[in-house]
Amino acid sequence: MGWLVEMKSFKNFELTMVDQPDLEGLLRKKLYEDFSKGLVDLCVVRELVSSPRLMSYGVQAFSHPGLVLAGDSFLDANTMLADGGQKTYAISLDEWRQIEGGVERIDFYDFRDRSLMKVQIWSVNPLALSSFAMGVAVALSYKRSELQAESRISSALNELMMPWGYYAEEF
């Protein structure tokens, strides 16, 4: 007579990256039941997909082919959210490691100083992301404290992700 063994699932442990091929299809499959009820809360996506943002700094503005609009600047370009004085860009960790020695970090700044920018270092190459994956990446790159400090960000994320069937009211 064998012992009954209770099997556990790793489903709650799994996490994927935003550069997962066909991320949109994967989420549609995993969230099939949620989508059958209507729009899906981005909070659910946060449980399935990791934030690409590893580090972020205020820096003296610079140009690089690996920079892509991110954060508030991405939302400014794609929604009704107005950006602040300093543009926000994302760059891959690999690209950042090649240039970080030549980039001047800034700790304090005047909010009107447009010679500065915010840079987010991502675990993935933002240039390689589909429009859907980029939307998810931008949404997940916000820290909870940033979302709580500015409620308009959640509204902009809601506007950005609604065409794909997601909402961000309590994100």
Please report which confidence band the pLDDT of residue 8 belongs to, taking 50, 70 and 90 as the band edges. low
- Residue 23 resides in a domain: no
Structural domain containing residue 99: 37-167
- Residue 128 resides in a domain: yes
Taking the model in full, what pTM does it have? 0.91
Please report which confidence band the pLDDT of residue 164 belongs to, taking 50, 70 and 90 as the band edges. very high
**Max Cα–Cα distance, the chain, nearest Å:** 76
- Residue 103 resides in a domain: yes
Residue 3 has pLDDT above 70, yes or no: no
Please check whether residue 135 is in contact with residue 106, taking contact to mean a CB–CB distance below 8 angstroms: no
- Residue 19 resides in a domain: no
Please check whether residue 56 is in contact with residue 119, taking contact to mean a CB–CB distance below 8 angstroms: yes
How many domains would you assign to the chain? 1
Three state DSSP letters for the chain: CCCCCCCCCCCCCCCECCCCCCHHHHHHHHCHHHHHCCCEEHHHHHCCECCCEEEEEEEECCCCCCCEECHHHHHHHHCCCCCCCCEEEEEEHHHHHHHHHHCCEECCCCCCCCCEEEEEEECCCHHHCCHHHHHHHHHHHCCHHHHHHCHHHHHHHHHHHHHHCEECCCC
Q: What is the mean pLDDT of residues 84-98?
A: 96
Q: What is the mean pLDDT of residues 65-85?
A: 95
- Residue 20 resides in a domain: no
Residue 1 has pLDDT above 60, yes or no: no
Q: What is the mean pLDDT of residues 137-160?
A: 94
Question: At which residue do the structure tokens 């994100």 appear?
Answer: 171
- Residue 5 resides in a domain: no
Nearest alpha-carbon partner for 160 in 149, 144, 171: 171
In angstroms, the CA 47 to CA 42 distance is 9
pLDDT digit string, tens, across residues 16-62? 999 999 999 999 999 999 999 999 999 999 999 999 999 999 999 99
- Residue 105 resides in a domain: yes
Using a CB cutoff of 8 Å and minimum separation of 24, what contacts does 150-154 make? 152/81, 153/72, 153/75, 153/81
- Residue 8 resides in a domain: no
